Amino acid sequence: MIPVTGFDGQNIGVLGLGRSGLATARALRAGGAVPVCWDDNPAAREAAEGEGFACRDLSRPDALDDIARLVVSPGIPHLYPRPNPVIALAYDAGVPVDNDIGLFFRSLASGAWDDFDTPPRVIAVTGSNGKSTTSALIHHLLLAAGRSAQLAGNIGRGVLDIDPPDDGGVVVLELSSYQTDLARALTPDVAVFTNFSPDHLDRHAGLGGYFAAKRRLFAEGGPDRAVIGVDEPEGQYLAGQLSEGAADDRVIRVSSARKLSGPGWQVFARKGFLSEWRKGKQVASIDLRDVAGLPGAHNHQNACAAYAAVRVLGIAPRVIETAFHSFAGLPHRSQLVAEAHGVRYVNDSKATNVDSAAKALMAFPKIRWICGGLEKEGGLDPLLEAAGSVIKAYVIGREAAAFAVKLRGIEAEVCTDMATAVAHAVAEAEAGDTVLLAPAAASFDQYDSFERRGEDFTARVKAALDQG
């Protein structure tokens, strides 16, 4: 655990007692603070009380009178579409509001670092899509290179639940816009921006607010090195803002759409080959086409970002190339769950928005596409441009019929539930086809998470193949 320092003897409010909330309470207590906890869920409060934490209804008008700081779980709105009532009370009372990410950066360094030969580093990854795969891949590459590394944040363990990093250790953090938007301290050594597309617009009051939340990691974080995906205008803008000129190698530009040139530091993928260029010269090349855990151009972008991040720490290209081939990928992200009779079955349940689903559709030929769910803002039109390989769509979700109507030019069957969609796709698939779950929608109309949706797909595929 990372004990939270600087609040010895002070009452610190903890709002939200899920994974990160309980870890925060434990870390505060370890650092000498007095956590005062609250969650609307009685079961969550009971779990906290079972660990000896005091619970108090922080929504009462006088509940924050003795609270020095309020620490908020990432799922709780702090500004848009409107602040949570407890957070609104904190604003009125002048109580500072923070989250576990801010506390982590505030408390990470310890006196033991003075005796380290190499101080620990933090690599923080944000962006719209590919954050989890990029973060996990960075972690994998570091371990393969013999480096001490931990994975935390929006993936793996809560940031305050990890062990204090040792001499030369690296902490890899996946950070969502919810986390970067509120954290009062953001000081990564290396910051990574994968890409940008519309998402969480209600939480950030539009596209500009969403980008501003991502940008904080760089503009306020002041990383020593920034790895920036420049395939969208937002990434190009961010790289330009951080760079002092074309040769400034503190900014590493990354692309999976085009060759990059210039006197600076670039890593890009074209036609399945990753290339690293520095000072106008190519210094490394890796063939990604046979890397099973990283299929498709979107994963090649993730590979470029991860490659650049660990190159900053001195990992050699040959070590990286070898480690790419041992990366198994992540569950629910272009995950090959079965292969039978020449048909591949791929679980990309994490493709919860249009952009990530479109990238999945471009990664495979001859697709039988299971899609649908709780549709997000912005419509489905961008999917249609990427759906040239789709043989047929099998649409799930409570609004499956309305979703199917929007798939203009694609043969679509309204299946409503996963059981029907999988059964029909398996029955109709032929050798060379890929049955792909890439919903392009949230899961909450039928499942409590994208993980549960992916697990249901996987279980039904395996059951259908066993019966066949």
Known binding-site positions for ATP: 127-133
Distances from the Cα of 458 to the Cαs of 257, 338, 344, in angstroms? 31, 8, 12
Task: Report yes or no: 10 and 147 within 8 Å, Cβ to Cβ.
Answer: no
Task: Report yes or no: 217 and 185 within 8 Å, Cβ to Cβ.
Answer: no
Nearest to 2 by CA among 97, 149, 109, 98: 109
DSSP 8-state code for residue 276? E
Residue 122 CA to residue 131 CA, distance in Å, equals 15
Distances from the Cα of 234 to the Cαs of 142, 228, 229, 231, 335, in angstroms? 29, 10, 9, 8, 29
Which amino acid, residue 177? S
Residue 415 phi/psi, 5-degree rounding, is -105, -25
Q: 223: which 2 tokens?
A: 């990383």
Task: Report yes or no: 4 and 106 within 8 Å, Cβ to Cβ.
Answer: yes
Residue 260 CA to residue 256 CA, distance in Å, equals 10
Residue 323 CA to residue 141 CA, distance in Å, equals 6
Query: ∠313-314-320 over CA atoms, to 5°?
Result: 100
Classify strands 54-55 and 412-416 as parallel, antiparallel or unpaired: unpaired
Biggest CA–CA distance in the chain, Å, is: 67
Extract the annotated binding site: 127-133
DSSP 8-state code for residue 199? -
Q: 397: which 2 tokens?
A: 């979700």
Q: Is the dihedral of CA 324, 132, 5, 49 positive or negative?
A: negative
Strand 412-416: give its sheet, edge to edge. Answer: 335-340, 343-347, 434-437, 367-371, 390-396, 412-416
Q: 278: which 2 tokens?
A: 């520095």
Q: Which residue has the tokens 């990383």?
A: 223
